[in-house]
Structure formats: structure tokens, C-alpha cells
Amino acid sequence: MTSETLPCWDLSDLYAAVDDPKILADVEASQQRAIDFETQYKGTIAADSLTATHLLQALQAYEALLAADYLPQSYAQLHYSTDTADAARGALLQRTREFSSAVSTHLVFFDLEIGQIPLAVYERIADAAMLSPYRHYLDRERLMAAHSLSEPEERILVETANSRGRAFARLATEVNTRARFPISLDGQVLEKSQSEILVLLYDADRDVRRKAAAAISAGLQVNSHVCTYIYNTLLHEKDVLDRLRHYAQPETSRHLANELDGAIVDTVSDVCAANFATVARYYRLKGKILGIDDLMHYDRYAPMRGQASAIPFAEARRLVLDAFGDFHPELAQMADRFFTNNWIDAALGAAKQGGAYCAAVTPDHHPYVFMNYTGKPRDVMTLAHELGHGVHDVLAANNHLLDYHPVLPMAETASTFAEMLVFDRLLGELTDPGEKLALLCSKVEDTFATVFRQISMYRFEQQAHRARRDEGELSTERFSALWQQNMQAMFGDSLRLGEEHADWWLYIPHIVDVPFYVYAYAFGELLVLALYARYQQEGQGFVERYFRLLSAGGSRTPADLLGELGLDITDRAFWQGGCDLIAARVSAAESLAAGTGAITSR
Ligand SMILES: [Zn+2]
């Protein structure tokens, strides 16, 4: 940890303070605008008389009122996250959320009606030049709407949402948050929460890691009945809704939301599975470095020696801006504005939220970066990551609000790319071979977690959803067998998961909250690895095309955007290129370890 003063952001260009009267005035104006919008446009969109001019006016009005609604909400969210113990900030957040829900009830008709515009009418007006900026949004909404039910049916689903699947998902969160994991350390029995016990898997002492793993397994057993029941129920509900909405496969609705063809996702998944040997190769090396012959699942996150010393924030800023500047001076200039204009909150506070994020407000307002800076090399990467998001938002600001955000599989492009630039810079600047090896290994492990682990989870989900559909309600043991089989595949014989690991699917939030969400992580990371490989081959020739990709925001599908860069994401070789870069890093770690005598022989 460093003792310097860390930056706090300046939110005054949103509102003056938590009690600024303008906040409530804006919130109330938003609500009135939403009511007016509904009065003016409801019933006029899905109509034979619809004209391009009328649809354009409605879209612009819709956008303007969404943008106005985002300002108070964003302020409340940002301000709350730096001090969650302040009651006034909490109350403001709750208030803006409630207002915002009230606003959305007046807007639900709009997307539904876009989907219901009669085909002949849509074909008549959709090619009008004035609608061309909205064509992608309209086409997308119509694709989604093809799976909508009737308006009264949809209304029932909206009104009962909090007592169906969402209620079960929340119950899973609450059960897991309340779960306690007793562990005996130094002769004392401690009751750990889930996040506290998971941290112990990173402990340098193998005995602590082993005990933590046993405590996790025992703790998960306590709630396994209720968590299995919840998961069965969610899979069944999805089966029913997929049938009613005519989604052919369990994954289809996710692919549609991600604007990806299912065949492309299958290719990504197959290529990853074909590269599991890279994971096994790395863990064999890790076993040798740690001097452990029988690597177990609780050794996965064991730390390496040679962790770097604390990096002051000013130094992190220099590192990031230098790395960005080497790519292109404009990238560094865009990122520098975040520092000079106080758009970054990096300070530490007792009641500050954990983690990091970049908040995009609207195309007309700059983004903000939130993080907790503790001086670790990892924090420098986080700063780069969030600034990558920030620069993406700045570049995409030429799009209208409805096309501002990229779809999920593209959302991590700029952030991951920025991390790679800074990672290479940081690795190049380190002189101590032990520190270099530790940094390289932590990067390799992070990449495994994002790529191969997510794909293994995706394959588990695919099998779990199908098994529930074919076999009816499943036992904990049945889910656990699927989990174990899919997770072990990635490690081969390099590391043994052990029987006690079989139930560890029980606490994974993503598979409960958003089915099939996980593959987007692997897609995004491999995509960036492949882009980075292009950059290394083409140098400055790549830069302009990369900026163009980011500037497009969410205005086109991933396949179209990447096709414009000359990349064919249906081609296995494209994805293999990303996997090859991961393998190259493992090779680099192998040579570093051999050269520095890091391998412990016992
Ligand atoms: Zn991110």
C-alpha cells in the first residue's frame, strides 16, 4: 500500500450535492415526459398509417427521455458507491430507482409496438434515409419481438416476475450470502463468509488452502438441497418459457440477445476445448515451481514467489499513459482527460464499494472510472482496463443512445486490449526475473479463468439444461457429476479436482442469474487476443481500423463489425490464433522458470 493521496472524482458536472433540488426536479420532469410520451405515441406505432417521419420523431423523443432519466440515476449510483454507509446517498439511490421503474412502465409499449409494426408497413418505411441511423436498433427489436407473447400475456409475466424465476434467483443469492463456513486455523474455529473463505484459496500455506477447500465443500453441503431445488426450478421455468416463445434450443435466446449466430459460439467452444492441453501444460509447470507433485484443486490459485513491490498511483498513471501512447498518441490523450478532469475515483474508504467499474452515462456526458487502488501490479491492470472502457465510451459517443453500448460479447474489447498494452509494458519494465515470472503467471491464470473456465461452465450449463429437459428433476449428484466431468476436462491429468469439488457449482451466481452469460467472457478475451496478434503483425496500420471498431459502439452486429476489419469469426483459425497467444505466454513462463531456477525440486 502507498501513502500518497489518491484521486476522488468530481461529480459536480452532474449535480452539486446529494440534496441538490435539481435532482428531484429532473426526476419528476422525467416522469411527466414519460406519461406524455405514452399518451402521444401508444397505439400509433404498430399501425397501418405509420410513416417514417412519425417513427423517427418517436425514436428521438424516446431517446431524449431515456437520456434525461439516466442523469439523476447515474449521479445517485456513482455517489452511493464511494460511501455506501451514508444514509442520504442510499435513500437517494432508492428514490431514483423507484422513479425510474415508474418511468419504464410508461415505456414498455414502445419496443413491443416496434415488433408489431405490420410487415408490409415496415418494408415500406424501413429503407427511408431518415431512419437509417436507427435501422440496426429497429431490426434488432423486431427480431426479439418475433418471440414475444401477446401484450396481456407479457404484462402478466412482467407483473409476476418478482415471484417467479427472479425470486428464486434472489433466494439463491441470499442463501449463499448468509452461508457460513467454519474453519479451524491456529487452534481457533472461525466462521467465514463465502467471500472470506474464497480468499483463503490464495493463501501461500498449502494447509490453509486445503482446509479452506474442505470448509467450502462442507458449507455448500448444508444448503445443497435448497440450491439444487432452485436450480431445477429455474431450468424448468426456462424450458417452459422457451417453448412458449418458440426458442429452439436452451441457448437460442442468449445468442439472439448477443447478436451472435449459434454456430459461431459452438466454434469458440470447440476451439477452446481443443486447447485444454495448454491449461494442463501450465499447471504441470506450476506444480514444479511450487514443488508439489500431486497438484489438487485448492492449489490452483496458490501464489508465486517474487510478487512486485507497491506501485504509487502517479507511477501507474505514467505506465498506463505511456503504454497507450505507444499504441497511438490519441489513445493516451483520451485517457489523460480522465486524470486531469477528475473523472476517476481511486481512493480507499471503509464504506466504499469493492471492485472497479467504468460508468458510461449518455453519449453527451463523459464516463467515470471507479476503483480501489492498493498499489499492486493487478491494480495497474485494473486502471488500464477501466480506462479502456472509458476510451471506448468516448469513441462511441458519436452514436445515438440506443446504439451507444456494444453487445455483451464486444463490451470488453477495449478494456481487455488496454490491459494487454499495459501488461506488455509492465513486463518489459520489470527487471527482476522472479517478479517477471509472477506477473506472467498471474496473467496466464487470469486468462484461463476468463477463457477456458468460462467455456467449461458453458458446457456444463448446456448439458444441465438438456438433462433437465430430458430426464425431469435432477439430483444434486447428477448436476455434480456433470460439473466435475466438465471442469476436470480442462485440467487433464495436471491437477486433480477431487470428489469434494463436485458440489462447487452450487455457489456460481452467473448460471443462476443469467443462463449462458459466461461464454461472452471467453468470446471477448479470445477476440482481443486475436486482435492483439493482428496489431503485433501490422503495427500502425492496425490502429486506425481499431479506432473505427470502437467508434461503432453497438451500431452493428459483432460479425458485421469484425467483418469490416477483415476478420472472419466463423473461421476456426481466427479463434485458434487467440489460443496460440495464450500458449505462447505459457511457453514464455516455462523458459523464464527454467532460466531463473524457479523450479523447486524435491
Ligand atoms: Zn470490464
User: Could you write out the three-class secondary structure of 236-248?
Assistant: HHHHHHHHHCCCC
Rounded to 10 deg, the angle between the 224-244 and 476-491 helix axes is 90
C-alpha cell at 556: 452493428
| Ion ligand 1: protein residues whose beta carbon lies under 5 Å | 415
Ligand 1 mean position to 388 CA, how many Å? Answer: 8
More confident position, 42 or 595: 42
Ligand 1 mean position to 368 CA, how many Å? Answer: 13
| Contact present, 197 and 216 (Cβ < 8 Å) | yes
Asked if residue 193 has pLDDT above 50, the reply is: yes
Distance separating alpha carbons of residues 10 and 344, to the nearest angstrom = 8
For residue 599, the model assigns a pLDDT of 67
Spell out the domains of the chain, with CATH numbers in brackets: 21-146 (1.20.140.70)
Distance separating alpha carbons of residues 332 and 320, to the nearest angstrom = 8
- Specify the pTM: 0.87
- DSSP secondary structure string for all residues of 459-512: HHHHHHHHHHHHHSS--HHHHHHHHHHHHHHHHTTSSB--GGGGGGGGG-HHHH
> φ and ψ at 301, to 5 degrees?
-105, 10
DSSP 369: E
pLDDT digits (tens, 9 = 90+) for 337-354: 999 999 999 999 888 888
Three-class secondary structure of residue 191 per DSSP: strand
Distance separating alpha carbons of residues 553 and 567, to the nearest angstrom = 17
What do you get for the CA distance between the two ends of the chain, in Å?
Answer: 35
Ligand 1 mean position to 462 CA, how many Å? Answer: 25
Distance separating alpha carbons of residues 205 and 210, to the nearest angstrom = 9
| Contact present, 422 and 316 (Cβ < 8 Å) | no
Ligand 1 mean position to 228 CA, how many Å? Answer: 30
Ligand 1 mean position to 391 CA, how many Å? Answer: 12
Cα separations in angstroms, 591 against 211, 494, 571, 596: 33, 19, 31, 9
For residue 174, the model assigns a pLDDT of 84
Ligand 1 mean position to 412 CA, how many Å? Answer: 5
Ligand 1 mean position to 381 CA, how many Å? Answer: 11
Give me the residue label for grid cell 474453519: 183
Ligand 1 mean position to 392 CA, how many Å? Answer: 11
Ligand 1 mean position to 435 CA, how many Å? Answer: 25
C-alpha cell at 453: 473456465
% of the chain surpassing 70 pLDDT:
98
pLDDT digits (tens, 9 = 90+) for 275-334: 999 999 999 999 999 999 999 999 999 988 766 678 999 999 999 999 999 999 999 999
pLDDT digits (tens, 9 = 90+) for 197-210: 988 998 999 999 99
